[in-house]
Amino acid sequence: MNKYLLYWILFLFTLQIIHSQENGVVAFDLPIRNSLKFNRYVINPTFSFVREQNKYISFSNKRQWVQFADAPQAYLFGYSGRFKENIGMGVGLFQQDYGVQTTFGAVLNFAYNVSLNRDDNLTFGLNLGAYQSGINDGRVIVNEPDPVIQNIPKNFMLTINPGINYGTGFFDFGLSINNLVSYNLNASKLIEENPAQSVQAHIMYTGYMNSRGFFDESKFSSLIRSEFKKDKTVLSGLAMLSIPKGLWGQVGYNTLYGASAGIGLNISEQIAVEYNYEQSVGDLVSFGSSHEITLAYRFKNNKRFMYNGDDEEKSVFTPSRKSKRVIASKNPTKKTGSATPGRLKSRRAALEDKNKITEDLPTNVPQDNQEEQANLEEETKLIAEIEAKKEVERLKAEEQARIKAEKELEEKQSAEALKRKQEAEAKARAAKELQEKRDAEVRAREEVLMKKREEAKAKEKARLEEEKRKQEEEARLKAEAEEKALLEAERLKVEEELKAKEALEQAKREEAEVLSKLKEQAIEGTDSSGPELDEETLNSINNLNQISETSKNLQQLLIDRLSDKVDIKQQDLDDLKEENDLSEQGITVAPKPFKSITEENAEIESIKKEIDKVIEEQDIKIQELEAVLIMRKGKKRDKLDPLSASYLRTIEKLKTDRLKTIRTKESLIANLKTINEATEVERKRRIKRAAYDNQQDRYAKDRATLESIKKFTDPSPTPLNEEDFDFGEEQSNSIRIVKDVSNEENGYYMVIAVHDTEAKRDEFLRNVVASGESNINFFFDVNSNKYFIYSKKFNYIEAANTALVSKENKPYNNKMSIVKIEN
């Protein structure tokens, strides 16, 4: 009854180990925990490197609780060890049987060490497990099919187990995580509730025994572990003593699995066998014992690694010739005498020959070489101490040299870094100074150019002012000459008029005398003494009076018409001036009715010509009358001739009317000239203000047109050539200067075309945008009434010249020139 009860307990415990999840998933948990000699990487992933010197191939088999049938057992075939100075690796194939449940897989191990200094090392390790678990149908023995067992599928699992270890001269401290990540490939999901997931911490000590006899140079290792799981904490300890002659033994205790003990030996220098026994205690004492056996082959490594824990081991069946590991003593207690390595070698050879002879003698022959052998061993130890001391001193000297070299290298690197930094700073300063110097030179050249331009402008201004002064002086002299000539002409006219007036007065006096005589004659009744006025004479006199009156009326009519036109011009000037004044104040005036200035000026010119014609005709009449008068006086010398007197009065009146008409005309023309000049000033004033408003409207319209062209012009399907571009006005190689350009900054513009119409401007812009260039712009010059299309703008002439020389090979750039704006 008790036997069957134990079977049931074993089955339930097996289910606990199997981790009775749904679908029979088994956690990764190899039962390799009782050996500090082989397969240590299973305990912690870093142990394939830590304290290792060689590489091993091993085969282990562990049978747990052997008193039960189908008890758990595990097989592990592995290859692990130290491969390089800082790398350890391992690979293992395993199989675990839990009754009818079987797990088969592999584990890959990698460990990497970082040497902090001579005695301190930091090692990182990782175990990657891949295995398949399921029901072993060959182990299932049932009378009837069990659907519970048949429905358990096979699962392929991946698990990750990282670890870390910090090692000093004798101690190691480490941490690892078992089953950090477990992934079920069949179910494509992570295992969330894993009872085998735990955090494991350990402390390990490794030292050597310095004694005489059998245990001399034996290595002692101990490991204390704590495994923290979700529901419990497992503590364990393990200690191993390894004897150089090829024997080792180990004991341990685990709070879950119980106590363990083991022994191992080297059959040869490469082949070893190990056996471990484990006894359950506590709640599992009824489970009984477990057995583990390992067969290993060691690959001897001729290279001596740092941070290793393997000494040269011999076989228990082969005599050991290994020198004793000693720690050099600073105060040796025995003298070496004349012992040297050479003498020691010769004495050792003689002793070996003597031992061979002794071995051939009967066993009862006394061995008289024991004392000599003891002395030889003593000298060997002394020589070993000397060599160890030299080795320590050599290592110390090498360490000091290494530290010194590292310090010198660090100082050298620091000096080089400082030198590079200083050189970089010096280069940066030099580059900055060079750039500042270049900028200063550019500014100086620009200032010189600006100064030269200012001087040229000043000279040009002085020249223009001088020319203007000369022109004004010439105009003044000319005006003075004209005024002098006019005064002289007027003086001559006045003299002529005075002469004519005197002649007229004389004629009047003579006529008065004639009339007086005629009156006297009429009174006295002397009819035959005075002349008689016949009807023909009276008609002639009346005709002369009518001619004089008609000429006067015609001249006055023309003068009145001209005066009316001048008054109209004055009124237009007053209205224009008032409109401009109000416009500057922001007051809008209703527009005046349209009238043609050209027609008005034509009428004025026509009136002036008519007046000149009348004056010219009057001159002719005066000359004709004077000629008739002279002829009449030549034929009839009678001073009392009434017809001659009438001729003389008519001529005098015509001359007076003519002179008055001329002066009135000149006065009106002078006034008209003044009015025209003032009107031109006011008209320019209005045009200037209208141009300002029009320029803003033009600029807004031009910006909208440019944006529309850039937005709606599609790229040309075929490349455009230079013939496809109309560059407009031909540009010169010299720098063109334009002034008073609104909405543009001063600078140097890379102009590629100049057009005088909006249509040609827009066509050129569309072709440039269709060629793939969107960085295009233009400005309008009101002085030349032209559009300047440009691609770039610079503040300095040097940059503009550089851009002109290095311009892109584009068809629209072939006529590029520089235009400077000076506002």
The two tokens of residue 543 are 């005709």
Angle value at C-alpha 235, between 234 and 236, nearest 5 degrees: 125
Mean pLDDT over each residue of the chain, to the nearest integer: 78
CATH number of the 36-299 domain: 2.40.160.40
pLDDT exceeds cutoff 50 at 88: yes
| Residue bearing the bigger pLDDT, 211 or 13 | 211
Among 365, 675, 639, which residue's Cα sits nearest to residue 511? 639
Q: Answer yes or no: are the C-beta atoms of 555 and 657 closer than 8 Å.
A: yes
pLDDT value of residue 71: 78
| Residue bearing the bigger pLDDT, 609 or 228 | 228
| Residue bearing the bigger pLDDT, 547 or 227 | 227
User: What band does 509 get if pLDDT is binned at 50, 70 and 90?
Assistant: low
C-alpha span between 695 and 481 (Å, rounded): 46
Among 301, 377, 40, 295, which residue's Cα sits nearest to residue 176? 40
pLDDT value of residue 448: 84
Q: Which range among 53-57, 330-334, 701-705 shows the weakest confidence by mean pLDDT?
A: 330-334
Count how many Cα atoms sit within 13 Å of the Cα of residue 319 in the half-sphere of its side chain. 2
User: What band does 508 get if pLDDT is binned at 50, 70 and 90?
Assistant: very low
Domain positions in the chain: 36-299, 540-691, 713-821
Q: Answer yes or no: are the C-beta atoms of 276 and 258 closer than 8 Å.
A: no
Angle value at C-alpha 86, between 81 and 88, nearest 5 degrees: 20
The two tokens of residue 177 are 């995580």
pLDDT value of residue 770: 93
| Residues 139-191: tens digit of each pLDDT | 666 556 665 566 677 889 999 999 999 999 889 999 999 999 999 888 888 88
C-alpha span between 229 and 27 (Å, rounded): 13
Provide the percentage of residues in the chain whose pLDDT is more than 90: 25
C-alpha span between 218 and 245 (Å, rounded): 9
Mean pLDDT of 94-102: 83
pLDDT value of residue 613: 84
Residue reference for tokens 């050209």: 598
| Residue bearing the bigger pLDDT, 547 or 820 | 820
| Residue bearing the bigger pLDDT, 525 or 176 | 176
Widest CA span of the chain, in angstroms? 232
C-alpha span between 11 and 8 (Å, rounded): 5
pLDDT exceeds cutoff 90 at 130: yes
pLDDT value of residue 218: 84
The two tokens of residue 133 are 């678990």
Output phi, psi for 90, to 5 deg. -160, 155
User: What band does 488 get if pLDDT is binned at 50, 70 and 90?
Assistant: confident
Full-prediction pTM beyond 0.75? no
| Number of other CB atoms surrounding residue 687 within 10 Å | 11
pLDDT value of residue 21: 43
Mean pLDDT of 102-114: 93
C-alpha span between 576 and 566 (Å, rounded): 15
pLDDT exceeds cutoff 50 at 8: no
| Number of other CB atoms surrounding residue 391 within 10 Å | 12
Output phi, psi for 333, to 5 deg. -95, -15
pLDDT value of residue 20: 40
User: What band does 128 get if pLDDT is binned at 50, 70 and 90?
Assistant: very high
> Which of the given ranges, 291-305, 312-326, 431-445, 782-796, has the highest pLDDT on average?
782-796
Query: What class, spelled out in words, does domain 713-821 have in CATH?
Result: alpha beta
Q: Which CA distances in Å does 66 have to 73, 175, 321, 486?
A: 9, 33, 42, 156
| Number of other CB atoms surrounding residue 162 within 10 Å | 17
Mean pLDDT of 523-537: 43
Mean pLDDT of 762-784: 92
pLDDT value of residue 44: 93
Output phi, psi for 559, to 5 deg. -65, -40
User: What band does 525 get if pLDDT is binned at 50, 70 and 90?
Assistant: very low
User: What band does 572 get if pLDDT is binned at 50, 70 and 90?
Assistant: confident
C-alpha span between 728 and 812 (Å, rounded): 12
pLDDT value of residue 489: 65
pLDDT value of residue 548: 65
287: exposed, middle or buried (C-beta count within 10 Å: 0-12, 13-18, 19+)? buried
Mean pLDDT of 554-570: 83
pLDDT value of residue 24: 61
What amino acid is encoded at 63 in this protein? Answer: R
Positive or negative: CA dihedral 641, 647, 652, 653: positive
Mean pLDDT of 627-648: 70
Enumerate residues 6+ apart whose C-beta is below 8 A from 697.
none
pLDDT exceeds cutoff 50 at 453: yes
The two tokens of residue 684 are 């320019």
pLDDT value of residue 142: 59
pLDDT value of residue 131: 92
Rg of the chain in Å (alpha carbons): 68
| Number of other CB atoms surrounding residue 465 within 10 Å | 10
Mean pLDDT of 770-790: 91
pLDDT exceeds cutoff 70 at 200: yes
| Number of other CB atoms surrounding residue 499 within 10 Å | 10
| Residues 466-482: tens digit of each pLDDT | 887 887 888 778 777 77
Mean pLDDT of 92-107: 88
User: What band does 538 get if pLDDT is binned at 50, 70 and 90?
Assistant: low
pLDDT exceeds cutoff 80 at 498: no
pLDDT value of residue 114: 92
C-alpha span between 762 and 776 (Å, rounded): 12
What amino acid is encoded at 816 in this protein? Answer: M
C-alpha span between 4 and 286 (Å, rounded): 12
Determine how β-strand 817-822 pairs with β-strand 736-739: parallel
pLDDT value of residue 324: 44
SS3 (DSSP) at 287: helix
